[in-house]
Amino acid sequence: MQVFAKIISVIFHPLLVLTYMLVLFLLVNPYIFGVHNIAEPFGMQLILRVFLSSFFIPMVAVLMLRFTGLVQSLEMPDRQERIIPYIVTGIFYLWLFRNLLDNTTIPRLFTSFALGTTIALFLAFFINLFSKISAHAVGMGGIIGMLVLLMSYFPDYHTIAISFQDGSVLEISSTALLLFVLILAGLVGTSRLSLKAHEPMDLYGGYFIGFVGQMIALRFIM
């Protein structure tokens, strides 16, 4: 159970959320990015840029903090250890959002999601000064928030069609996708509790912050 919980925590690491959502957007509707499918050079380059900016570089920065002794563990069980990583990650996310905002080929909806993720990150940083909060829950709450926004404000996305390179199309109800993500969010939360990384209130607060971050971002971007 502990091994399974650690695997889930790694797969759904909060820094991977932006990359996962970009891949989903490109699979569902690559045309809003100006490409015909996700495998085109622009699509792959965009995924690489987002992955490097939102996961790889912040993770390298955290590893450097670990090697210099500023962080005692990569899991950072002490909320005080999370302060500097939150700041470093926030800087990279702000830089990424600014680049997405200036890029006219990036749909506003994904830019809104990137801003919502950044807002949630800084809200989590502020709350972390007083009480520990689950970054994993913040990430999952952000995905839930974006799916709810798609269903509420963009009726064309009530049915999501995922196109593959061989020409086949998989249609999924957005309601079914939301239920699937809710189950995943519960699985991630259960894994964090199983690892004794958080208390239930840390998870509830994280889900709420991730969700609210998307709502705030939509007001600014869309």
Listed in sequence order, the DSSP H helices in the chain are: 2-11, 17-28, 41-51, 57-67, 83-102, 108-128, 135-153, 174-194, 200-221
The ranges assigned to domains in the chain are 2-221
Tokens 């940083």, residue located: 125
Q: Is the pTM of this model over 0.85?
A: yes
CB 149 within 8 A of CB 222: no
- Name the 3-class secondary structure at 169: strand
Q: Could you give the CA distance from residue 7 to residue 214 in angstroms, rounded to a whole number? A: 27
Q: What is the pLDDT along the chain (222 residues), one digit of tens a residue?
A: 788 999 999 999 999 999 999 998 888 888 888 888 888 889 899 999 999 999 999 999 888 888 887 777 766 667 778 888 889 899 999 999 999 998 888 988 899 999 999 999 999 999 988 888 999 999 999 999 998 888 877 666 667 777 766 667 778 888 888 899 999 999 999 999 998 888 999 999 999 999 999 999 988 876
